[in-house]
A and B are shown apart, each in its own frame.
Chain A
Amino acid sequence: MNGVGSVRELEKETDKESPLHSMDGRVKLILLIFIIVYAVFSTQIAVMIFLEIYLLLLIYISTVSFKTTVTRVLLLLPFGGFIIAFQPFIHPGNVIWSGAFGIQVTDGGLMWAALLMSRLIVSLTSIVLLSSISPMQEVVESFRKLGMPREFAMILSLMIRFLFMFYDELHRISHAQKARCFDAFNKKLSYKWRMKQLGYTVAMMFLRAYEQGETVYLSMASRGFSEKSKLYHDRKKKIGSQEYAFIASTLGVVACLQILAMSFFYQWGLMGINIA
């Protein structure tokens, strides 16, 4: 899963300059979530292929590395891929292959697996793009502008600040443990003792980060910080022509795909059938 390395790398990606990087955070957030929602709504693989092409085009415009994007999507696929791998064997449909121990592969299962996989790839590409063009604090500010309650926005903003501090503490503690040759997966050590050490690691990490966080928060509060404070300066971004172009192109792509899905894609055979 995610670690300090990936958190820092993500923040570096968001420092790049491109038309998508400089856009209003709310527009990016809403449109990329909209693409995910449309992908989940759609039941045709052809629609997913065109959505993915559109996302790849956006990645090209954003100057985000294709290699990094593909690597991140591939690294995230196994989480859902495990469930998808079972679908050909468990989903109802016409049996197209029978093996030992009553194992059967159905056509319906294969199509369902393909649909789930294509949905997952589109969703992950969308997420990778969003996280590569929007710093975390910009997303928090976007949520705040979109009406997130102040209390939640404040905790979210502080959480992101503390996240980096937390990973520093984790890194420091694990470094100290490695220097003493501690390995939680070393089976020569007693399991109970390893669990105790891991428990203390979690407790120490939590306590140290809390005490640092408390100091930071109290110094912020003593300087007038509250849930009403404006935490992030968004370089006075306004919704302008770039944002309107992005909104129009995304809504246009989705509208065209929906029209094609209802009137044309069914001629494409397996790619265009509605998979239920």
Chain B
Amino acid sequence: MHIPDGFIPLWQCAIYYVILIVALYFSLQWARKNLDEKAVPLMAVLAAGIFAIMSMNMPIPFGTSGHMVGGALVAIVFCAPEAAVIIFTLVLLIQALFFGDGGITALGANVLNMGIVGGFVGLYTFKGLRKPIGKYPAIFIAAWLAIFLAAELAAVEMWIAGTFPLEAGLASMGIYHFFIGIIEGILTVVVIYALEKLRPDLLAWNKNKKLGEQKAEESEVTAK
């Protein structure tokens, strides 16, 4: 899903960068209000975690493999799509500059797909479905939809750039990420379930419940 340098014309890259700058402006406002001594390490670790998770290959039916993206995970943990925008901007920047994974000129497009669309779709799908179908099914669908739509948007961007035909791009990215999305959904559910059990204080929706400190002390991870 990482679009490399040279695949999108510069004028289109400029448009995606404008979108990124606007998103970063609002995310910065959010960061200044919300980053406290708990949120800073959480955000940095999540960023490092997203980086590492992207390097972990997962088995996918039909013999192929793929990796998690984590846009919905970040947005749901912080209950803020702005967190996904910040984390994905930083992660994709380092990936582009040090590992050639995704282009530096295509950074705006890549953050739009994985951070902005991934974060917004992930969080608001979760919020919308949480009451009707329950927390964990909602997380699964949110994570699946976030990665699926992000991949389809990447196909649309490549079509606008004249690099790949729309139908073939939507079909190939769609089929592949339909299955990766299932893995993403399962893993997002498991991670949030583990956080809820072991460190509920880290989840934004538990912020005002006063159970964080007690649970943090009981953490099995700390005990190990």
Residue numbers of A with Cβ under 8 A of B are 1-3, 6, 10, 29, 33, 36-37, 39-41, 72-73, 76, 79-80, 83, 86-87, 90, 116, 119-120, 123-124, 127-128, 130-131, 136, 139, 149, 151-152, 154-156, 158-163, 165-167, 170, 184-185, 191, 194-196, 198-211, 213-214, 216-218, 221
**Residues of B contacting A167 with CB < 8 Å?**
52
State how many residues of chain B have any CB contact under 8 Å with chain A. 75
B104 touches which one: A36, A120, A128, A191 (CB < 8 A)?
A: A36
- Say what secondary structure dominates the interface of chain A: helix
Judging by beta carbons under 8 Å apart, are B219 and A152 in contact? no
In the complex, the 6 A-B pairs of residues with the closest C-beta atoms, listed nearest first: A199-B190, A119-B6, A203-B194, A158-B44, A123-B5, A162-B48
In angstroms, Cα B91 to Cα A160, docked, is: 10
**Residues of A contacting B187 with CB < 8 Å?**
195, 198-199, 202
In angstroms, Cα B56 to Cα A200, docked, is: 13
Residue numbers of B with Cβ under 8 A of A are 2, 4-7, 9-10, 13, 24, 28, 31-32, 35, 37-38, 40-49, 51-56, 58-59, 61, 65, 67-68, 86-87, 89-91, 93-101, 103-105, 158, 163-165, 168, 183, 186-187, 189-191, 193-195, 198-199, 202, 219, 221-222, 224
Can you list 11 A-B pairs, Cβ within 8 angstroms, ordered by A? A39-B5, A120-B6, A123-B100, A158-B44, A162-B44, A163-B51, A202-B190, A210-B42, A213-B44, A214-B38, A218-B37
Judging by beta carbons under 8 Å apart, are A86 and B43 in contact? no
A-B contact count (CB 8 A): 218
Q: Please give me the residue from chain B that is nearest to A162 by CB atom.
A: B48
Judging by beta carbons under 8 Å apart, are A80 and B4 in contact? yes
Task: For the complex formed, measure the closest distance between the CB of A176 and the CB atoms of chain B, giving whole angstroms.
Answer: 12
User: Which of A33, A152, A218 gathers the greatest number of chain B CB atoms within 10 Å?
Assistant: A152
